[in-house]
């Protein structure tokens, strides 16, 4: 089994590292949060005092960090100066395409395989090991990464060259934000029309209104007991992270000349939601703002 360094043990990284340890890999874990490291140790990982220490002697490095600046920082200061030659580097964070290509170029120059491998499926998917991975990078690097990703996910798709994983991810999350707002608006209209939420769910979840935002992540309490709406919108996937992804999508759309009017509107609505004190809430909590709260 492989020696894996895992850096970034938050909502997603924690359960992903746990699944690698469960698959009998030797996982050395580091996070700036001691509580996150402790939780990973409880799930079978080994403690490292720093990111630099975690990657020394590792055959594979997995990172699951908030944004591009964290990934650039950790790769430039800790990972690349300390890994052995020929290590496989897998970044699962959702970051901008430029940062993904930048670190991939540095890794290639130093003789390492690297893939950007952002995920979809949320904390539930991370815990169950059923994530979808969208993977950018050379064919040979993808082939090496795939058996490791299979321990954390169910669907592993090679989407193209370095950065292509991130590009697919921001398209996916733009769709998700728009559909979450759509589902939320429909429930708030239903409320004002005096409908029972469960009845709307029973119909829409088996009709043309069906979506992941509705059937897995329903923004009102009740119909999907595991959705964040049932625990006061405790994240899950924070509104701040969704806003980050929407801004990345808008940046990419502007650069590529793509017309994304609903993506732009979704970014504005999430900006309002985040800036009214909801950055750490689950993104599905935007329904409260649409309810006028």
Which chain residues interact with ligand NAD by CB under 6 A?
7-13, 30-33, 36, 51, 64-66, 70, 73-74, 93-94, 119-120, 122-123, 236-237, 241
| Catalytic site includes residue 169 | yes
- Residue closer to ligand NAD by CB (options 73, 81) is 73
Q: How far is the CB of 169 from ligand NAD (least distance, A)?
A: 8
> What phi and psi, each to the nearest 5 degrees, are found at residue 3?
-90, 115
- Residue closer to ligand NAD by CB (options 57, 66) is 66
Hey, which bits of the chain come out as E strands? 3-7, 26-30, 46-47, 60-63, 88-91, 113-116, 119-120, 131-136, 153-160
Q: How far is the CB of 240 from ligand NAD (least distance, A)?
A: 9
Structure tokens at 67: 């944004």
Structure tokens at 222: 């009740």
Q: How far is the CB of 192 from ligand NAD (least distance, A)?
A: 30
Q: How far is the CB of 114 from ligand NAD (least distance, A)?
A: 17
Provide the 10 A C-beta neighbour count for residue 100: 30
Cα distance between residue 138 and residue 163, in whole Å: 11
Q: How far is the CB of 73 from ligand NAD (least distance, A)?
A: 6
* CB closest to ligand NAD, residue no: 10
- Residue closer to ligand NAD by CB (options 44, 200) is 44
- Residue closer to ligand NAD by CB (options 7, 269) is 7
- Residue closer to ligand NAD by CB (options 94, 99) is 94
Neighbour-count burial of 196, counting CB atoms closer than 10 A to its CB (0-12 exposed, 13-18 middle, 19+ buried): exposed
Across 214-232, b (16+ Cβ under 10 Å) vs e yields bbebbbbeebbeebbbeee
Identify the CA nearest to 120 among candidates 169, 72, 77.
169
Provide the 10 A C-beta neighbour count for residue 35: 10
* Among 169, 191, 244, 293, the one annotated catalytic: 169
Query: Which residues are tagged catalytic?
Result: 169
């Amino acid at each position: 089994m492989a020696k894996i360094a895992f850096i970034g043990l938050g909502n997603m990284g924690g359960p992903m590292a746990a699944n690698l340890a469960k698959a009998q890999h030797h996982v050395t874990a580091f996070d700036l949060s001691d509580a996150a490291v402790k939780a990973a140790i409880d799930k079978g990982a080994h403690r490292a005092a720093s990111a630099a220490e975690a990657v020394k002697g590792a055959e594979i490095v997995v990172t699951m960090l908030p944004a591009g600046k964290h990934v650039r920082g950790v790769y430039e200061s800790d990972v690349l100066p300390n890994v052995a030659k020929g290590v496989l580097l897998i970044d699962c964070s959702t970051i901008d395409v430029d940062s993904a290509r930048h670190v991939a170029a540095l890794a290639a120059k130093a003789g390492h395989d690297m893939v950007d491998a952002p995920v979809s499926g949320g904390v539930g998917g991370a815990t169950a090991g059923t994530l979808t991975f969208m993977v950018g990078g050379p064919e040979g690097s993808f082939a090496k990464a795939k058996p490791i990703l299979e321990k954390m996910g169910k669907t592993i798709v090679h989407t193209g060259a370095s950065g292509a994983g991130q590009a697919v991810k921001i398209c996916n999350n733009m769709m998700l934000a728009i559909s979450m707002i759509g589902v939320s608006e429909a429930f708030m209209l239903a409320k004002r029309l005096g409908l029972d939420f469960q009845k709307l769910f029973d119909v829409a979840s088996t009709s043309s209104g069906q979506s992941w935002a509705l059937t897995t992540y329903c923004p009102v309490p009740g119909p999907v007991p595991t959705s964040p709406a049932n625990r006061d919108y405790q994240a899950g996937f924070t509104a701040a992270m969704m806003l980050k992804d929407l801004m990345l999508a808008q940046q990419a759309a502007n650069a590529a000349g793509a017309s994304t009017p609903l993506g732009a509107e979704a970014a504005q609505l999430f900006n309002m939601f985040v800036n009214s004190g909801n950055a750490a809430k689950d993104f599905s909590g935007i329904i409260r703002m649409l309810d006028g709260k």
